[in-house]
Structures are given as C-alpha cells and as structure tokens.
C-alpha cells in the first residue's frame, strides 16, 4: 500500500536567487533520504514560492523494504582457537553486527575458509522512518544564513510553519522549535492561514488563499499574461530568462501589467533605459514590432488585478526617478573631458598593494604594445591599441557609471565617440571587459581583443606578484575568470603568443 507524502516549510521571504536552487536541493535531499532509508516511491514533485519550500512524494511505500546483508569476517584459522572454540576476534566480529556466534557459517573464498554472517532486518513502518525528516531540512545549505530571536541555530530565513502530511494524516514532528501540523500561510496581503486537507490537495488549498505553489505554473501565467498584453497593445516584450526567473520568485500570485514613461527619456542611450528597467526595477522592456524601444514597460504585481491602476502609477513614479538620474548623468557627463578624467585616475586605487588605476593602465599599455606586435596588427590597429590603452578606464569616473556600474565600458564607448575618438578605440574600450563570464561573449575586434588580453594579463601578474593568489574556492578578484578569458580570446583569434617570453620581455 502506498500514500503520498507532503512536506512544506514556511519561511520569511527568501531572496529571489535562492528560491529555485533551494527547491531543487530539497527534492534531491528528500530523494537521497528515502533511498538511504529503503523507502520506495514513484516520483518526487517540488514546489516553491518566496515564502515556502515544499516537496511531495508520490506513491511512498508504507514501510521500508526488508534488508538482508552478508558480512565477511576473519579467516577460519583466526576465528577458531586451538580447541576449536570461537576466538575473541570472531566473537567481536559478530557482536559488532548485533548477532551471536550461533549465526556464523564458513564459506570458501579462493581456497580459504572465512567467517560469514547473514543479517536480516525487517523494514520499519514509513511513519517511524519519517521521524528523521527534520534532519533533511536541517541539512540544507544556503549561500547566506541568519539566526533570529534568542535562537543559536542559523537558517536562510526564520521558519514559521511546518507541514508533514502522509496522505491525510498530519505527522507530529519538530524542526527548529516549530511543531508540524497542517496549517500553511496564504498570500501575505490577500490570503490568510489555511489548512491543507491532504497531500494531494496542496496546490488547490493554497490557490484559495492566492498562492500559486508551482513555480512552473507561475512562470506560465506570467508568459501568458505578457502575450495577452503584446496582442492587445501591438508590441513585443523582451523576456530575459534570468529576469523572468527572478520575478517569478518574487511573487506568489502574479499579475502582469504595462506602464509608461515620457518619450523624452528615449533620447537617453538605450542601454541606460534597459539597465534602469531590467536591473534596477525588474521590469520587462517593451519594443514596437520593428524592434524599437517604446516608452513602456511590463511589471508583475504580487497580487490580483484589483486596484491595478494604483500599482501602475506607483511603478511609473519609481521608474521616472531612475530615468531622471540617467538623463541627468547623460547630459552632465558630456561636459567632461576624457583627458581630465584620465588624469584623475592617478588618484583612484586599483588595489592598495598594487597601486593606482593609472599605473595599471600604463602597465597594460606596455603589454598591449608587445601583444599587438606579436599578433601582427597593422600600423593603424596598433595606433588604436595604444590610444585605447591610454584612456580605456576613464568612464569609471563619470556620473553615469558611478550610478549604473553595469554600464562600465558601454558608456566609455559612447562618450569616446562623442568626444571624437576613433571608432576602433571606442569599441576597444567596451570590449576590454569581455568576456565578463565563463561563457560570455568575446571581443569581436583585434584591437579590443588585444586590450582585453593586456588588461587581464596585468591584473593576473600584479595580483600574483603581491601574493594575492586564489586558493580553493576563494577567488575574490576573479583571477580564474580572467585566466579563462585570456585562453578563450587567444583560441578564438588563433594567436600563438608564448606567455613566458612575453613576461620575460616585460619584466
């Protein structure tokens, strides 16, 4: 006979980036627990919202499978003394297995007899085994943890409720001073506490209190709601998958809506607008059918459609404040001179043990010149490399990058072009940050690739020279990523540059 098992842990709001990995981790740990305890099952389903992690085991057996194990002991000549009685070695062996010498038999292995015992262990009832579920919850690991009230234990967030239902029976367990029951919490504003009738009614019981427990269902709701807005408004919405995953882990009952902003802000570079909407406000970008940015955005409310017009106005007001900042910095930064900003980099610390950004750029410039020669760049490309190396960090001192640090390099390219710099130089300023992740995009131009190599090489050499070397999983300066970037760029451009010779020629 089988039953379905439901376990739900109710918590304070989890950070969005933790929700999906934690849901997956809970499912994996539950599977390992059941396998280790010989409790068979058909499948495992997982659920999550910002305020809960849950798992449902389908077709859980009502007791463990019986266990029969053979254990090999000492050889017969060690197991028996001179009088033919069992030695202390044999007695200790069987005692350690919870058996007696009466259970011993001898079996021949490769021409020699050894002690063997067979242990039979009857399976325990599932409810008895499930008493260990709190250990599963306690074993979960998180990138951050905290303790609360007068407790000494730590967890990702304070725990409020625990549900353990075997079929329709609520098991009595304890986890972090929380007694299990069948009561869950509904939506923070629209719902209330609700009793979960049984393991199978979980989703529907929560739906009555405005909670969609299945993260995939919430994702589909968001996608469908956005499609409906696209069809109604004649627009297309740029759904960035990372942003979608974050948004669905911020809401328990999603309702998408479209807001707008003044068209005057479209004069600000698109990257600024997109960063303001996606990164800072978690809004989806709206474009017309030709792909041009529109003065609109899509956001997702954690709630239903009632009084949605108030929510729209509030979100528009918040976004305008960000766009005002962007417009102001875009206008003011154009009054600055690149040479003045470069001069100020002498007073910006690259690292206290290494020196200033100016010194870093100067070293990178020397490396870039050598790389350009070895890579066979033309005179025009070499000149572009030299000029880019002189100025490529200047945008770090602009107001825009100070406010939107995600735009470093991107704004450098735009400001360089406005200042009359060569296009190759401007592009290199943007590309020197690439790749910015393990599988991120690479520089597309030779000038940008050389500058990226030089910047990363000096970073590596500088940090290693003062003993700041990655150890284990500790890599605070992302030196492994820089090294991987160097290898990927060299491979992509087919450059064969002996690094030992390069280093010897420079130092």
Helix axes 423-431, 446-465, angle to 10 degrees: 40
For 107, the 3-state DSSP assignment is strand
H helices within 234-378, ranges in order?
241-248, 270-274, 308-333, 338-344, 357-374
How far, in Å, CA of 502 to CA of 426, rounded? 26
- Residues 258 and 294: beta-carbon distance below 8 Å: no
- The pLDDT-based confidence of 5 (bands split at 50, 70, 90) is very high
Least confident of 41-50, 171-180, 494-503: 494-503
Q: Please, what is the end-to-end C-alpha distance for the chain in angstroms?
A: 75
Say how many C-beta atoms besides its own lie within 10 A of residue 102's C-beta.
8
Residue with tokens 């041009």: 292
507 pLDDT higher than 70 = no
- Dihedral sign from CA coordinates of 350, 354, 355, 359: negative
- Residues 442 and 435: beta-carbon distance below 8 Å: yes
DSSP 425-470: HHHHHHHTT---STTPPPP-SHHHHHHHHHHHHHHHHHHHHTT---
25 pLDDT higher than 70 = yes
The residues, ordered by sequence, that sit 6+ positions from 191 with a Cβ below 8 Å of its Cβ are 185, 209, 210, 211
The residues, ordered by sequence, that sit 6+ positions from 315 with a Cβ below 8 Å of its Cβ are 259, 281, 283, 297, 299
- Residues 375 and 367: beta-carbon distance below 8 Å: no
Residue with tokens 């410039």: 365
Q: How much is the pLDDT for 499? A: 79
Residue-wise pLDDT for 38-74, tens only, equals: 999 999 999 999 999 999 999 999 998 877 788 889 9
Say how many C-beta atoms besides its own lie within 10 A of residue 296's C-beta.
21
* pLDDT, mean of residues 67-84: 85
* pLDDT, mean of residues 260-280: 96
438 pLDDT higher than 90 = no
Q: What are phi and psi of 342, to 5 degrees?
A: -60, -40
Q: Which pair of structure tokens corresponds to residue 145? A: 């943890």
Q: How much is the pLDDT for 336? A: 97
* pLDDT, mean of residues 479-493: 95
- CA–CA distances in Å: residue 31 to residues 3, 200, 202, 332: 16, 19, 20, 58
287 pLDDT higher than 70 = yes
Least confident of 269-283, 334-348, 491-505: 491-505
**Percent of the residues in the chain that have a pLDDT greater than 90, as a whole number:** 82
Least confident of 35-49, 57-71, 380-394, 433-447: 57-71
Give the chain's mean pLDDT: 94
Q: How much is the pLDDT for 149? A: 84
Residue-wise pLDDT for 242-262, tens only, equals: 999 999 999 999 999 999 999
Q: Indicate left, alpha or beta for 36 from its phi (over 0: left) and psi (-120 to 50: alpha).
A: alpha
Q: How much is the pLDDT for 441? A: 96
Say how many C-beta atoms besides its own lie within 10 A of residue 505's C-beta.
12
Q: How much is the pLDDT for 108? A: 84
How far, in Å, CA of 269 to CA of 431, rounded? 18
How far, in Å, CA of 39 to CA of 33, rounded? 9
């Amino acid at each position: 006979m089988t039953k379905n098992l439901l376990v739900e842990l109710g918590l304070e709001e989890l950070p969005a980036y933790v929700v999906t990995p934690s849901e997956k981790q809970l499912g994996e740990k539950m599977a390992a627990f059941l396998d280790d305890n010989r409790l068979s099952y058909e499948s495992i389903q997982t659920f999550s919202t910002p305020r809960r992690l849950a798992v449902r085991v389908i077709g859980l057996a009502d007791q463990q499978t019986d266990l029969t194990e053979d254990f090999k002991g000492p050889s017969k000549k060690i197991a028996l003394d001179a009088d033919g009685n069992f030695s202390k070695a044999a007695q200790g062996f069987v005692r350690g297995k919870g058996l007696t010498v009466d259970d011993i038999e001898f079996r021949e292995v490769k021409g020699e007899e050894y002690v063997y015992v067979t242990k039979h262990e009857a399976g325990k009832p599932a409810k008895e085994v499930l008493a260990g579920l709190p250990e599963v919850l306690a074993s979960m690991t998180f990138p951050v943890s905290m303790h609360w009230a007068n407790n000494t234990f730590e967890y990702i967030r304070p725990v409020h409720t625990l549900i353990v239902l075997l079929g329709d029976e609520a098991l009595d367990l304890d986890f972090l001073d929380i007694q299990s029951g069948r009561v869950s919490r509904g939506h923070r504003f629209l719902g209330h506490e609700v009793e979960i009738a049984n393991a199978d009614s979980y989703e529907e019981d929560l739906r009555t209190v405005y909670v969609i427990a299945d993260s995939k269902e919430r994702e589909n709701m968001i996608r469908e709601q956005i499609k409906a807005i696209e069809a109604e408004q004649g627009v297309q919405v740029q759904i960035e998958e990372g942003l979608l995953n974050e948004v669905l882990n911020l809401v328990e009952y999603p309702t998408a809506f479209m807001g707008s902003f003044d068209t005057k802000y479209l004069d600000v570079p698109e990257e600024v607008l997109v960063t303001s909407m996606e990164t800072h406000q978690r809004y989806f970008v709206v474009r017309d059918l030709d792909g041009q940015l529109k003065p609109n955005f899509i956001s997702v409310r954690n709630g239903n459609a009632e009084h949605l017009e108030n929510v729209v106005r509030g979100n528009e007001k918040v976004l305008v404040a960000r766009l005002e900042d962007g417009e102001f910095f875009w206008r003011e930064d154009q009054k600055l001179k690149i040479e003045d900003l470069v001069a100020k980099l002498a007073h910006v610390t690259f690292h206290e043990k290494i020196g200033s950004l100016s010194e870093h750029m100067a070293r990178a410039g020397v490396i870039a010149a050598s790389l350009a020669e070895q890579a066979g760049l033309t005179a025009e490309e070499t000149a572009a490399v030299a000029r880019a190396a002189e100025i490529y960090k200047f945008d770090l001192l602009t107001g825009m990058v100070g406010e939107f640090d995600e735009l470093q390099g991107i704004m450098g390219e735009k400001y360089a072009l406005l200042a009359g710099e060569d296009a190759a130089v401007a592009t290199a300023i943007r590309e020197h940050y690439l790749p910015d992740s393990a599988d991120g995009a690479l520089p597309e131009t030779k000038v940008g690739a050389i500058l990226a190599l030089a910047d990363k090489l000096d970073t590596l050499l500088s940090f290693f020279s003062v003993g700041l070397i990655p150890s284990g999983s500790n890599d605070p300066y992302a030196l492994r990523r820089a090294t991987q970037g160097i290898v990927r760029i060299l491979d992509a451009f087919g450059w064969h540059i002996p690094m030992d010779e390069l280093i010897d020629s420079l130092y």
